[in-house]
Amino acid sequence: MQFTSDNAAAVHPAVWKAMMAADAPDAPYDGDALSRSLDAAFTALFGRECAVLWAATGTAANCLALASLVPPHGAVVCHREAHIEMDEAGAPGFFLHGAKLLLADGASAKVTPATLAAVIEAIRDDVHQVQPHAVSITQASEYGCVYRPAEVAAIAAVAKARGLGLHMDGARFANAVAHLGCSAAEAASGVDVLSFGFVKNGGMGAEAIVFFDVEAAKVIRYRRKRAGHLQSKGRFLAAQILAMLEDELWLDNARAANAAAAGIAAAAPERLLHPVEANEVFLTCTAAERAALRGAGFTFYDWGPDAARLVTSWDAKTGDIAALAKAIAAL
Amino acid sequence: MQFTSDNAAAVHPAVWKAMMAADAPDAPYDGDALSRSLDAAFTALFGRECAVLWAATGTAANCLALASLVPPHGAVVCHREAHIEMDEAGAPGFFLHGAKLLLADGASAKVTPATLAAVIEAIRDDVHQVQPHAVSITQASEYGCVYRPAEVAAIAAVAKARGLGLHMDGARFANAVAHLGCSAAEAASGVDVLSFGFVKNGGMGAEAIVFFDVEAAKVIRYRRKRAGHLQSKGRFLAAQILAMLEDELWLDNARAANAAAAGIAAAAPERLLHPVEANEVFLTCTAAERAALRGAGFTFYDWGPDAARLVTSWDAKTGDIAALAKAIAAL
Amino acid sequence: MQFTSDNAAAVHPAVWKAMMAADAPDAPYDGDALSRSLDAAFTALFGRECAVLWAATGTAANCLALASLVPPHGAVVCHREAHIEMDEAGAPGFFLHGAKLLLADGASAKVTPATLAAVIEAIRDDVHQVQPHAVSITQASEYGCVYRPAEVAAIAAVAKARGLGLHMDGARFANAVAHLGCSAAEAASGVDVLSFGFVKNGGMGAEAIVFFDVEAAKVIRYRRKRAGHLQSKGRFLAAQILAMLEDELWLDNARAANAAAAGIAAAAPERLLHPVEANEVFLTCTAAERAALRGAGFTFYDWGPDAARLVTSWDAKTGDIAALAKAIAAL
Amino acid sequence: MQFTSDNAAAVHPAVWKAMMAADAPDAPYDGDALSRSLDAAFTALFGRECAVLWAATGTAANCLALASLVPPHGAVVCHREAHIEMDEAGAPGFFLHGAKLLLADGASAKVTPATLAAVIEAIRDDVHQVQPHAVSITQASEYGCVYRPAEVAAIAAVAKARGLGLHMDGARFANAVAHLGCSAAEAASGVDVLSFGFVKNGGMGAEAIVFFDVEAAKVIRYRRKRAGHLQSKGRFLAAQILAMLEDELWLDNARAANAAAAGIAAAAPERLLHPVEANEVFLTCTAAERAALRGAGFTFYDWGPDAARLVTSWDAKTGDIAALAKAIAAL
C-alpha cells in the first residue's frame, strides 16, 4: 500500500480512453484539433479568456509560466520551501537564464502579504540588487495547505501594488479547489498564469499552463519549443487534459484523494504537523513507529528524523485507508 | 492519405500494450524497474556498456546529449541544414547556454571529413574565436540519406584528432540501420552519444539518449531534471522504449517505412532530389503537380517552389503507397 | 612601426588629462558628475534625446546594446564576417542567453537590404525556427568600408518593416563619420542603439552605448551591473569619453587615422582588396612581399595566405606612413 | 570628508605613473609584456604556482573565478550577506548560467565550518536538488572582519571533504592580510581561486583573478573574452596591478586604511556592531546622531535605521580621522 507519492498512482481509465481515441492521424506538434481546443475549454472553466499550453511536467509548466513574467536579470519571490526552490534542480535558474528566487517565510509553506512585503521592501531600487518581477505561490502548498480566495487576493494586491506578476504553482490545484468548494476561477483569482496540474491527479504526462494574459502565451510557445517541450505527438497530451476536464473528473479525483487524506488525519489529529486540506498528511512519528507502519505494509517518505509524509491518490482504496488509519491509531 | 510527417503516424499496438502494463505503482521519476532496465537493454543491443536516459522529444534528447560534450563557451560543428540548426528553435543555444553551432556543407545534408575540416581549420586557437568541442551528425540525414559505417568512422577520426566529441542525432536511426543492414553498433561506431529516436517510428513520446561514456550520463541526469524533462511517471517512457526494442520492433517498423518510401521513389526515379535511403522522399514537383496530388487525396509538405517532401511511416498502407506511386507516375 | 592594430596605439594626451582631472572623490559607479553628464553630451551631438552608458570594451558595448533588442529565444541578423560573429568569442550568445546570429552576405562585410531580406524571408513564422529581432551592422565595416546614410536608411527600412531593431557596431564610427563628412546623426540615422567606440581612437578603456530609445537604457543598467561592467570608479570612463567629444577630438583623431590609411592605399591602388574608406588597408601581398615589409620594420597581420591587413591609428607618424607607402610601392 | 566608499578614493600616484609608463605600443589584449608578467609576480608573492588574469571589476573577478569551479547546474555556498548574493545584481547567476547560491549563516558575515556543513548536509544527493560545487568566502568579510588562517583552513577542510572548490572574494584581501600580519599565502591557504582586489585600495580599474590551479585559468581566458572583459589595451590593467605589488604598496595602502578605521573605532568602542579588523566601521547611531555627523561635513551610508557604515581609504587624512573620531565621541 503505497503512500509515497501521488506520482506513483495509476492513470485514470478515462485518460487512457481519451489517449487511445487520439491515436488517429492529425497535425503534429500542437496543430491538432485537441490541442487547438484547449483555449476554449479553459476559457469556459475559468469564465475568462485564457491561452493554454500543455507541457509534460510540472517543472516545465512552472518555469515556462515564470518565463512569461520574469526577465533574466529579475527575481521571483516565493516561499523558502516552494517546490521551485527546493525540488526542481535549479530549473527556474535555467529557464529564466539566471534569475533569482527570493525566499519568504510563512507557516505551512504559505507566504502571507506581510512575509512577501518583508522580502520586497528589503530590496533597494538600485542596480546592485536583483529586483523582483513576480511572486509565485503554491496552491495547495508544499505542506498540503490551501490558500483561501481572500488570501490569494491579498497576495495579488501586494504583487500588483509593486508591478509584479503572480504565478500559481497548481500541481495540486485540483485538491485545493476540492477543499475550498469554490470555483476554479475563485481559487485562482488575481493570478496571471497558473500551472494546472494533472499528472498527480490521474493523468500520465500532461500539465496545463493557463495564461490569463493571452498575449503572454505567444512568446512562451517559442520558449516551449526551445526547451524541447513541444512534443511532436502533442495530441496525446491534449487528450489527457481534456479527459480530466470532462465531467469534472479533475474535481472528482481530487475529492477522492482529499477524502483519503482526511481519513488518515482523523486517525491521529494530535500528530498532525499541518492542517490536512489537500492530499498530504504530515505526521509526527518516531523512527520506531515508522518502522512499525512499514512492517504493516505501508510505504511513505520520512520527513526528517521525527515525522512522516503520507500522500494519497485519486485511486486510494477505502480498505487501505481504513487499514492505515487503524495502524496509525494503534501506534 | 497523409505523407506530411512520421509524427502523425499511429502509436504501435505493442507500445500501447507495454504502456498499459506499466500502469502499476512503482517508484516515481526514473526509479522504476523499467527505467532502471534501460542501461542493460541498450548495452545488449550495442554490445558495449551504455548509460541510457529517456526524454520525451528529439530536441531534448539532442540537446541533453550535446550538453555532455560542449561547454557554454564552445561550439558544435554540424551540417548547415541539420535539425539542431534549422528546426529546434534555438534549443541548442538554450541547453548549452549560448554555445554556437558552426555550419558545414555537404550533399544531401551529410557532412564529410573534408567539409568538417574546412570549418574546424578556419578557427584560430585564440580566445577571440569560439572553439569547437563536438561534431553532430544526423543518421539518417535531414534528406533521408544514410552515413555508411566507414563514413561515420572517418568523421569520428576527424573529430577525435582534434579532441572533439561526436554526437549522432538518430531521430531516424532505425531507418538508417534498416537501410544499412548492419548492426546498431556498426551504424553508430565512433559515436560518443546517440539520440536514438522512437517517436517517429511507432512510439508516443519517448526517445533514448545513449551515452557510450557512462560517466557523462551522470551529469546529464541533473541537467535533464533541471530542464523539466524528468517525468514523474517515467515508467511510461521506459515502457515505450523497451517495447520498441523487444523482438526488434524498431527495425521492423523502420523497414516498413523505408519500403514504403522506396515504393514511392521507384515511381519516379528521375524526380528524386536525393537518394531515397530511409523514409523520406524529396521530389521535383511543380505547383500544378502538387495540386493534382493533393486533389487526389495525398497530403505532404511543399519543399520550396519546385519540390515536395513525402514522409512514410511504419504503418503506411500498401494500397496507399501503390496509389501514390501511380499518381506520381501519372503526373 | 606597428600597423597591427589601432588597439596598440597610445592614449591621447587630452584623455590622460581628463582622467587625471577626474581623480577627485565623487560618487562611486556611475553616480558621479561626469557619468551623469553623458546623456546631455550625446543628446547635443546627435540632436535627439539619448541615454548613454559607458562600458570598457566594444564587445560589452555591442552585447549590452543587443540585449536591449533581442530576447533569449530570438536572433540578430548580421554580416557573416561581423565582429560579433567572428571575434567576440561567442559573447552575443552569452549576453543574449543563447540567442542566435543569422548570417547575411555582402561585399566588403557590408550587408545590403537584399542580403538581409534573403535571410529574413527564409525564416518561417513558426516556433520551430528562431525569429530575428534585430539587425546589426558595423560602421565602418570589418573591411574598413563605410555605409552611406542612404544605405543605413534602406537597411533600417527593411528592419522596421519587419519590426526588427537596428544596432550599429561603431567600434570605428568616428572613422566612418570622418570619411562621410556628414554629422554623427546622419551616419547613424535610423539606428536604435549605437556602440560608439573610443578605445581604438585615442581612448584607454571606455566605449559609449548610445540608446536613442531612452527607456531601453533603463533595463540595460541592470544588465551592465549583472555582467560585471559597472566599474566602481566609473568617473574615469566618463572622463575619457567626454574628453573625446570635446572640440571634436574624436573626429580629428579619426581623420588622422583615415588620412594615414589613404596614404598607404595610394601607394598601391592595384593591390587593394576593399575600398579604403576608414583606417584599415587590405592588400594582396605574397608571403615573400610580407617578409620584405617585415624586414623593413613594419608589423601587421597576415590576412590569409595572399594578403595583409594594415591598420592605422590616430597617432600615425607621417614619416612612418611615407616609409610604408614607399616600401609597398617598391615591392 | 567622505567615508561612503573606498571606491571614491583617489588612484595612487604610483599607479598613475605605471599606467603612463605603459602607454607605449605593445601587443593588444593580454599579449603585452606587462600582462604576461603577472603569473610570475603572483607566483613569487604566494610562493606557489599561479595563473593570473586581470578584470576590471570585483564582480567580474568573482564570477569568472566561480565559473572555474561551478557548472550551470551546480551551486555555491556563501554567507547570506555575501557581496555575490547581495550586491552583484545577480551576476553569479549570469556568469554561471543559472547556478544557485546557497546561503549560510555566521556572525559578522563570516561562515563557519558548522554553518557551511548545515547547508551542505541538508542537501540530498538527488537530481531534484541543486548540488553544491564550491564555497565562497569573503576576506575581509562584508562587515570588515577577517578570517584567521586556521579558520580558512577549517573551511577548506569542509569543502575538500565534500569535493567542493574554495573561492575567496578578496575585494579587501589586502586589508585582511594587513590585519593578520601574515603572508598573503597564509591568508589564502587552502583557497583554489582568489579574487585579489586593488580598486578599493588605490587602483583605478583592475583586479586580479589568481588561480592556484593553473589549468583552470585556461578555460577562464575564453570565459573572460566571452564576457566582454578582455580589454584591448590590457597593458593598462596589468600596469596597475604590478604597481600595487611593487614594494608592497598594496600592504602599505591597506595598513593606512585599516589604521584610519581603527582610529574611528577607538572613539566609540561601545557603538561597534562588529570588530573593526579591516577598513570598515559599523556603528550604532541614531538618525539624529547621523544628521549631526553629516552636519559636521562627514558623508557615509546609513546601515538600516539605527546604524551607520563608515569606510576608510588608503588616502584617509589623519586630520579627517581625528575630526571624525572627535565628532563621534562627542555624540
Nearest-by-CA chain D residue for A93: D98
- The pLDDT confidence band at residue A7, using thresholds 50, 70 and 90, is confident
Helices and strands (H and E) in chain B: how many: 15, 10
Q: Does C33 touch chain D (CB under 8 A)?
A: no
pLDDT in tens, A210-268: 999 999 999 999 999 999 999 999 999 999 999 999 999 999 999 999 999 999 999 99
**pLDDT value of position B8:** 83
Residue of B5, B27, B227 lying closest to A228 (CB–CB): B227
Cis amide bond preceding D171, omega within 30: no
Q: Which residues between 94 and 133 in chain C have a beta carbon less than 8 angstroms from any beta carbon of chain B? A: 94, 96-100, 127-130
SS3 content of chain D, % helix, strand, coil (to 5): 45, 15, 35
Nearest-by-CA chain B residue for D221: B127
* C82 and C205, same domain (yes or no): yes
- Using DSSP's 3-state secondary structure scheme, residue A270 falls into helix
* B94 and B172, same domain (yes or no): yes
CA nearest neighbour of D278 among D177, D155, D191:
D177
β D307-311/D301-302 pair status: antiparallel
* A245 and A255, same domain (yes or no): no
Residue A8 in this model has a pLDDT that exceeds 90? no
Cβ-based burial of B280 (10 A; exposed 0-12, middle 13-18, buried ≥19): buried
Smallest Cα distance from B172 to chain D, Å: 30
Q: Cell 557604515 appears where?
A: D309
The domain spanning residue C306 has which CATH number?
3.90.1150.10
- The pLDDT confidence band at residue A47, using thresholds 50, 70 and 90, is very high
CB-CB under 8 Å, C222 with A127: yes
Q: Give the chains touching B; criterion: ≥3 Cβ pairs < 8 Å.
A: A, C, D
Q: What's the rounded mean pLDDT across residues D74-99?
A: 97
- The pLDDT confidence band at residue B1, using thresholds 50, 70 and 90, is confident
Q: Which distant-in-sequence residues (6+ apart) come within 8 Å of D127 by Cβ? A: A89, B29, B221, B222, B224, B225, B230
**pLDDT value of position B189:** 92
Residue of D8, D27, D90 lying closest to C226 (CB–CB): D90
Phi, psi at D202, each rounded to 5°: 115, -10
* C195 and C217, same domain (yes or no): yes
Cell representation of residue D198:
586593488
Question: Rounded CA gap, C273 and A255, in Å?
Answer: 77
Residue of A55, A200, A232 lying closest to B7 (CB–CB): A232
Does this model's pTM top 0.90? yes
Cell representation of residue A211:
495564461
Percent of chain A with pLDDT over 90: 96
Q: Which distant-in-sequence residues (6+ apart) come within 8 Å of D314 by Cβ? A: D6, D9, D12, D201, D202, D252, D253, D254, D256, D257
Half-sphere exposure of D47 (CA within 13 A, CB side): 7
Examine residue A323 and state whether it is found in any structural domain, yes or no: yes
Residue D175 in this model has a pLDDT that exceeds 90? yes
Query: Which of A97, A100, A121 best tests the D interface by mutation, with the highest count of D CBs <10 A?
Result: A100
Question: Rounded CA gap, B60 and B89, in Å?
Answer: 12
pLDDT in tens, D26-83: 899 999 999 999 999 999 999 999 999 999 999 999 999 999 999 999 999 999 999 9
Q: Give the chains touching A; criterion: ≥3 Cβ pairs < 8 Å.
A: B, C, D
Q: Is residue D51 a contact partner of residue D68, using CB atoms and an 8 Å limit?
A: no
Q: Which residues between 247 and 306 in chain B have a beta carbon less than 8 angstroms from any beta carbon of chain D? A: none
Residue of D10, D27, D226 lying closest to C94 (CB–CB): D226
Examine residue B6 and state whether it is found in any structural domain, yes or no: no
Q: Is residue A199 a contact partner of residue B233, using CB atoms and an 8 Å limit?
A: yes
Cell representation of residue A72:
533574466
Q: Does C236 touch chain D (CB under 8 A)?
A: yes
CB-CB under 8 Å, C97 with A223: no
Question: Rounded CA gap, D213 and D194, in Å?
Answer: 11
Examine residue C262 and state whether it is found in any structural domain, yes or no: yes
pLDDT in tens, C97-140: 999 999 999 999 999 999 999 999 999 999 999 999 999 999 99
Question: Rounded CA gap, B265 and B277, in Å?
Answer: 10
Q: Does C142 touch chain B (CB under 8 A)?
A: no
CB-CB under 8 Å, D73 with B226: yes
Question: Rounded CA gap, D61 and D249, in Å?
Answer: 21
Q: What's the rounded mean pLDDT across residues A175-185?
A: 98
Residue C320 in this model has a pLDDT that exceeds 90? yes
**pLDDT value of position C1:** 86
Phi-psi region for residue B90, left (φ > 0), alpha (ψ -120 to 50) or beta? left
Residue where a domain terminates, one of C200, C218, C248: C248
**pLDDT value of position D8:** 83
Q: Is residue B164 a contact partner of residue B133, using CB atoms and an 8 Å limit?
A: yes
Examine residue A3 and state whether it is found in any structural domain, yes or no: no
* B298 and B201, same domain (yes or no): no
Nearest-by-CA chain B residue for A88: B226
CA distances to A285, C155, D214, D325 from C249, in Å:
78, 29, 43, 47
Sign (positive or negative) of CA dihedral C293, C294, C300, C303: positive
CA nearest neighbour of C76 among C143, C165, C192, C197:
C165
Question: Rounded CA gap, B310 and B299, in Å?
Answer: 8
* B56 and B124, same domain (yes or no): yes
* A54 and A140, same domain (yes or no): yes
Residue D1 in this model has a pLDDT that exceeds 90? no
* B115 and B260, same domain (yes or no): no
Residue where a domain terminates, one of D213, D230, D248: D248
CA nearest neighbour of C254 among C180, C322, C169:
C180
What does DSSP assign to residue C247?
G
Domain span at C263: 251-329
Per DSSP (E only), the strands in chain B are 51-55, 74-79, 100-104, 131-138, 165-170, 193-196, 207-211, 280-284, 301-302, 307-311
CB-CB under 8 Å, C89 with B129: yes
Q: What's the rounded mean pLDDT across residues B101-105?
A: 98
* A295 and A245, same domain (yes or no): no
Question: Rounded CA gap, B268 and B264, in Å?
Answer: 7
Question: Rounded CA gap, C54 and C50, in Å?
Answer: 13
Examine residue D61 and state whether it is found in any structural domain, yes or no: yes
Examine residue D2 and state whether it is found in any structural domain, yes or no: no
The domain spanning residue B104 has which CATH number?
3.40.640.10
CA nearest neighbour of C142 among C279, C258, C285:
C279
* A130 and A270, same domain (yes or no): no
Query: Which of C5, C129, C303 best tests the B interface by mutation, with the highest count of B CBs <10 A?
Result: C129
CB-CB under 8 Å, A86 with D100: no
* C207 and C306, same domain (yes or no): no
Q: Does C25 touch chain D (CB under 8 A)?
A: yes
Q: How many residues does chain B have?
A: 331
CB-CB under 8 Å, C55 with D232: no
Residue where a domain terminates, one of A249, A280, A295: A249
Sign (positive or negative) of CA dihedral C221, C224, C226, C229: negative
Examine residue A288 and state whether it is found in any structural domain, yes or no: yes
Model ipTM value = 0.97
Q: Based on the structure, what is the number of domains in chain B?
A: 2
Examine residue B5 and state whether it is found in any structural domain, yes or no: no
* B316 and B220, same domain (yes or no): no
